[in-house]
Structure 1
Amino acid sequence: MKARTFFTTLFAACIFSSAPAKERILVNNGVTTHIVMPENIKLVDISTDRIMGNQCTDNIVRIKPSMPNDSVQADYKENELLGTVTLIGERHIAQYDIVYTREPGSAASIFHVPYSDTESYVNPGVSMPVSEMARYAWAVYGSKRKFHQIVSNAHGIRATVNNIYSVGDYFFIDYSLRNRTKIPYDIEEVRVKLEDKKETKATNSQTIELTPVFSLNSARKFRKDYRNVLVLPKLTFPEEKVLRLEISESQISGRTVTLTIEYEDILNADGFGADVLESKSAYPFHHYYININH
């Protein structure tokens, strides 16, 4: 019986020792550590009150060792485990041991979470992570113009739809603006509306405003040329309706440009597969995604 107990204990110890250890993040009370996920964070769990922190933007969490108060330093030891931080993203989970270091220079001020540190999970509420939208949007941005029929000219501004792509449950609308005047154009807002093709006074006339789930270009001002990719949830609409993209300027007498997309144009949207992403791997997908959240 003793021999069986010994081998059982030894077998359990071997299983435990073979389990992969969690990666560590070194922290110090004089350094704020920013943990950057490669996708939007849905939930953060901090296991102990010895770590304080909050989510400061969509994909960044900042943490720091807890102190009793501003005038009293906590007596944490070198390499002391303060607790565990779990980050749950749109499609991946990452977990780290937070370890104290007495050397501020050894603490991480910015820690980028690689996908190799994460485990994937199925999230039915997310059909496409924002980071993946950014990758597809960059690939669309780098593609050649295929649409030539959707053009608008007003107030010295020429607007064109370059491409419309269908990816999963989303449409990627690639459009450009060219300013032919000497006055810079300040974008106040971009609105997407589903409207009746013909203006009518009938009571059943209805305008539906659609909210893009992602916009590639966050610039609000340009002098000559501007290009952007908007991502919309995939939709169908009757032929008597049109999709209107309205770009307005941030001045009282601001210039407004409208692009009208017919139902037939939506039907002719190209598909965009993962193989296209591979061929355009030179685009800085991850770097751009981090920057757009600042």
Structure 2
Amino acid sequence: MIFFLSLLLPGFNLIAQQDAGTYRAQLPEITMDSTSSLHIISPEPIRYVDISSHAVAGDLPEENVLRLKWVPDSTANHPLVGDNLGIITLIGQTFIAQYQLLSATATPSDKLAASYDILPQHIRPLHLPVEISTPELRSHSLNLLARRNPPIRKAKQYGISVELNHVYTLGDVILLDITYHNSTNLGFDIDELRFKIEDKKITKATNVQSVEIRPIWQLYPTGSFKRSYRNIYVLKKATFPASKILNVELSEKQISGRTVTLKIRYRDILEADSF
């Protein structure tokens, strides 16, 4: 028994000696000065930022861009230790990244980076309750745009035709590939695009039941189009009875105010392909 325990004890000591910490000396360094902003670019939307020093201010001009500005006046009340500006922590949808910020007191300005990309070797994965990351959605959406199949559903009103090209499921979301064509000489300025679950047959206007579903993501921003407009819309997976239908309603800004509605049956979603 003593011999057996002596074999196990070195293993226990090894486990006890394992260090789960990430130390400041191990962090990659970013150098900045007080004359210009520094932009840190993330591969996915930034969900959380912590800046440990009052000498640096930050904001998010875009969801995946962090803008930093060194505020030298703040050092009067919060003196710096050497050229250390503190630690910055960024959390994306699937990762955490940390950097040591340094002040460029002796570095020529032309040697300083104006922007900094978060590299794969600088991140650690996080097991957050995020079903699908934005880069994954973008990759699958671009994959859909490369495909050419006969449309599943069609509709046409006021010279504007709409086609449902594909329906795909990915995890707990649905991807809708929709194309609009304008056969008129009047450009279409999009006011809004609405997704609503409604009754197939409407007998009385007072009995209409409508539930609106908002896309959680789309490939391209909403704008205007002269001839055609194609986009990928991502919805949270939803179920509705056969007596209901998913209406996709595209409306135009006034004064013209044209509207075209595409009706998607629940069967179209049930028969959707998956990635």
TM-score normalised by length of structure 1? 0.79
Contact 2:40 / 2:67 at 8 angstroms: preserved in 1?
A: yes
8 Å Cα contact 1:82/1:99 also seen in 2: yes
Q: Distance in 2 between matches of 1:115 and 1:238?
A: 45
Structure 2's unaligned 5+ residue stretches are 1-16
Provide the residue aligned with 1:200 in structure 2. Answer: 203
Q: Relative to structure 2, which stretch is displaced further, 43-52 or 151-160?
A: 43-52
Residue 41 of structure 1: SS of its match in structure 2? coil
Please name the residue that 2:146 is paired with.
142
- Superposition pairs of residues 78-227 of structure 1, within 5 angstroms: 80-102=83-105, 103-124=108-129, 126-146=130-150, 148-201=151-204, 205-227=208-230
In the alignment, residue 137 of structure 1 is paired with which amino acid? S
Contact 2:24–2:100, Cα closer than 8 Å, also in 1: no
1:205 offset after TM fit, Å? 3.8
What amino acid does structure 2 have at the position aligned with 1:59?
N
* Structure with higher RCO (Cα < 8 A, 6+ apart): 1
Q: 1:67 aligns with which of 72, 79, 89?
A: 72
Query: Which residue is equivalent to 2:254?
Result: 251
Q: SS state of the match for residue 128, structure 2?
A: coil
Seq. identity, %:
35
Question: Hey, what's the Cα distance between the residues in 2 that align with 1:26 and 1:132?
Answer: 31
Higher alpha-carbon deviation: 218-227 or 163-172: 218-227
* Residue 25, structure 1, aligned to residue 25, structure 2: no
Instruction: Select 2:47's aligned residue among 42, 51, 60.
Output: 42
Q: Write out per-residue CA displacement over residues 235-279 of structure 1, whole angstroms, 9 at most, x where no aligned residue.
A: 11100000010111112331111100001111111111xxxxxxx
TM-score (norm 2): 0.84
- For residues 228 and 61 of structure 1, the distance between their equivalents in structure 2, rounded to whole angstroms, comes to 27
Structure 1 outlier segments of 4+, above 6 Å: 74-77
Q: Distance in 2 between matches of 1:28 and 1:107?
A: 8
Measured against aligned partners, the alpha-carbon deviations of 1:122-167 in whole angstroms (never above 9, x if no partner) come to 112x211223212221111222225x34101111111100000011
Count of aligned pairs: 253
Unaligned runs of 5+ in 1: 1-11, 273-294
RMSD after superposition? 2.6
Aligned AA for 1:141?
A: L
The 3 A distance-change label for structure 1 pair 229 and 48 is same
Letter in 2 for 1:185: F
Cα separation, 2, equivalents of 1:127 and 1:218: 22
